[in-house]
Amino acid sequence: MSIMTWNESWKIGIGALDNEHRDCFQLLDDIHTAVKENDAGVHDGRLLRMLYDRVRAHFAAEEAMMVGDRYPGVAIHAMKHEHLAKQLLALIARVERAPTNLNEHALKFLLDWFQTHLVQEDRAFGVWLNEHGKY
Question: For binding to Fe ion (CB under 5 A), which residues are involved?
Answer: 62, 122
Of 44 and 53, CB closest to Fe ion? 53
Helices vs strands, H then E, count in the chain: 6, 0
Of 66 and 95, CB closest to Fe ion? 66
Check residue 118 and report its DSSP letter.
I
> Shortest approach of Fe ion to residue 12 CB, angstroms?
8
> Shortest approach of Fe ion to residue 2 CB, angstroms?
20
Give the closest residue to 106 by CA, choosing from 122, 90, 121: 90
Residue 94 to residue 102: CA distance in whole angstroms: 8
Following DSSP, what letter does each residue of 91-105 receive, concatenated? HHHHHHH-GGGSSHH
Which residue's CB atom is positioned nearest to Fe ion? Answer: 122
> Shortest approach of Fe ion to residue 16 CB, angstroms?
10
Of 27 and 122, CB closest to Fe ion? 122
